[in-house]
Amino acid sequence: MTMADRIAVMNRGRVEQQGTPTELYERPATAFVAGFLGVSNLLPGRVIERGRVRLDAGDEVQVPPELLNGRERVAVGIRPEKIRIAPPAEGQNVLAGTVRESAYVGVSTQLIVSTGAGDVTVYVQNAAAGAAAPAPGSALLLSWDPESTFVTEAPKEASA
Task: Check pLDDT > 90 for residue 88.
Answer: no
Establish if 96 belongs to a structural domain: yes
- Cβ 76 vs Cβ 31: under 8 Å: no
- Cβ 72 vs Cβ 119: under 8 Å: no
Establish if 63 belongs to a structural domain: yes
pLDDT tens, residue by residue, 19-43: 999 999 999 999 999 999 999 999 9
**Apex CA 37: angle with CA 148 and CA 61, to 5°?**
25
Establish if 67 belongs to a structural domain: yes
Number of domains in the chain: 1
What are the φ and ψ backbone dihedral angles of 91, each rounded to 5 degrees?
85, 0
Establish if 22 belongs to a structural domain: no
Establish if 131 belongs to a structural domain: yes
Establish if 160 belongs to a structural domain: no
Say how far apart CA 73 and CA 63 lie, in whole Å: 13
Give the domain extent around 135: 39-153
Q: Which CATH number do you get for residue 92?
A: 2.40.50.140
pLDDT tens, residue by residue, 89-124: 899 999 999 999 999 988 899 999 999 999 999 999
User: What's the pLDDT at 86?
Assistant: 80
Establish if 159 belongs to a structural domain: no
Establish if 3 belongs to a structural domain: no
Say how far apart CA 152 and CA 67 lie, in whole Å: 9
For residue 160, what pLDDT band results from cuts at 50, 70 and 90? very low
Return mean pLDDT, the chain: 92
